Structure 1
């Protein structure tokens, strides 16, 4: 067994609701997740958010397998696609894009993760683009008895996702049977997070093991060692993210996050002038 990776944060997250149609829990700009901006686990049964802009990072929507409906994705580049349970839409916002996503069938559950991934400073003003992959296109495997993985982005255990973007992020959906464990090798330069989706478990530390409760989040730091996860008596599902930290300034304004105030102002001006709206029209 490898030495466990050092953890800098282990917390239980609060759940926030927006009316009766949407609830989410996550680290929304309250925990340092560099190179990620935030990650939310959401449950959505109807339209909540109107079309909105992003610039300077990637906005990722992944639906878990237990979702009972698909998601409509629309954006100002003209994309009209459906995100299936187990599928992903990866929007590299770059210089700016407007999009929205809603459940296909009102009243049915869209259960998923939205992850904001920072872009390197050299790429954050490039032209926007989107990537869409079905669950059949995302590699998945049973690694050992009671441990299943889907590689949403990056690669692991010989599985390589078709997602290609400048940040080279790694995102995995892990399902562990009761008492099962997994040791995930991680590049020594990477930092990242583990979130409990369902159930509970533990994540190893050099000193002992830290509990990851039903709403748990753990952040691991660069260094030697693997990330070791174990499920509790009821089993567990975890969302895992890792990448090379950028350690560059992050200036936020609404749906924009770029490495300088000047770039943020320029993005706002592009949006206000209508430059980002493109082919997106009101429903």
Structure 2
């Protein structure tokens, strides 16, 4: 571990959120961990879905063409393969350990479909809000293969930095305004990982497998742990079988949130415009 880094007042767990089992797309079964009711509390993050199943019938229909405007989607794959296509001409496939980052901006139509007929599908999709001045920017897309995700390693620790920075390692993506930190973290039994965070940044953790100790509590797969906005950062320690987990944090925008399904803007007027633009075929 980096001996120069020692957090003196790590964050505690404010509460655990079990999430809501639901279906999306053409019937894909998932658990919505970050729901509409938590958007203010976890600003700038709008939604977090976990899809994890060995049953092909739970995911095989995928997510056919659907629109988005006003935010970014980040898909982190644990197992399985998905293909993205969109109306702005982007296409790519994400596999185990890979990431897809899409900035919807002023709007596009895209699909996310499984590229497997059987086997396990496991991953997360996170919605990251865009500041008002960027909501109508041009759409953007990037596929990040597993081997392209920057890593920081220490004894018993492997931190794959999807976004933001940790221990001097810059992530695959950085955003100036929301400053998202997304770390796919693997810990050996007893291994300790520290991450400084500004107090105002909202943060949460989800365990993929194994268990960790965080703030004096044991955290296991299933719930999302919302971290209190007190202290100088996050400290997690791998449990008896080690762990894999997702650590997410970001700087809140503090702007109005108006959402209608796949459109997230700052006012109802802008939502009406988004719906009309979609119906008239004016998205990218």
Q: Place the TM-score, normalised by the shorter chain, in its bin.
A: 0.7 to 0.9
Pair 1:254-2:261 in alignment: yes
1:11 shift after superposition? 3.1
Where does structure 1 lack aligned partners over 5 or more consecutive residues? 279-283
Where does structure 2 lack aligned partners over 5 or more consecutive residues? 1-6
Q: Is the 8 A contact 1:54 1:97 kept in 2?
A: yes
Change (3 A) 1:151 1:95: same
Corresponding residue number in structure 2 for 1:9: 15
In the alignment, the residues of structure 1 paired with residue 102 and residue 220 of structure 2 have an alpha-carbon distance, to the nearest angstrom, of: 30
Change (3 A) 1:164 1:35: same
Corresponding residue number in structure 1 for 2:252: 245
Corresponding residue number in structure 1 for 2:162: 152
Which SS does the other structure have where 1:188 is aligned?
Answer: coil
Q: Is the 8 A contact 1:41 1:197 kept in 2?
A: no
> Which of 235, 241, 249 is the matching residue for 1:234?
241
- C-alpha distance after superposition, 1:199-218 (max 9, x if no partner): 222211xxxx2332321222
Q: Is the 8 A contact 2:28 2:63 kept in 1?
A: no
In the alignment, the residues of structure 2 paired with residue 164 and residue 226 of structure 1 have an alpha-carbon distance, to the nearest angstrom, of: 19
Which SS does the other structure have where 1:238 is aligned?
Answer: strand
Q: Residues 177-216 of structure 1 correspond to what in structure 2 (within 5 A)? A: 177-204=188-215, 209-216=216-223
TM-score for the superposition, normalised by structure 1: 0.87
Q: How many residues align?
A: 269
Q: Residues 57-68 of structure 1 correspond to what in structure 2 (within 5 A)? A: 57-64=71-78, 67=79
Q: Residues 20-59 of structure 1 correspond to what in structure 2 (within 5 A)? A: 22-31=29-38, 32-43=41-52, 45=56, 46-59=60-73
> Which of 91, 100, 104 is the matching residue for 1:93?
104
TM-score for the superposition, normalised by structure 2: 0.87
Corresponding residue number in structure 1 for 2:83: 72
Q: Is the 8 A contact 2:85 2:112 kept in 1?
A: yes
Aligned-pair RMSD on alpha carbons?
2.1
- Which deviates the most, 163-172 or 51-60? 163-172
In the alignment, the residues of structure 2 paired with residue 151 and residue 229 of structure 1 have an alpha-carbon distance, to the nearest angstrom, of: 16
| Structure 1 moving runs of 4+ over 6 Å | none
The structure whose residues are more often helix, as a share, is 2
Q: Is the 8 A contact 2:30 2:49 kept in 1?
A: no
In the alignment, the residues of structure 2 paired with residue 179 and residue 139 of structure 1 have an alpha-carbon distance, to the nearest angstrom, of: 23
Q: Residues 117-136 of structure 1 correspond to what in structure 2 (within 5 A)? A: 117-136=128-147
Corresponding residue number in structure 1 for 2:92: 81
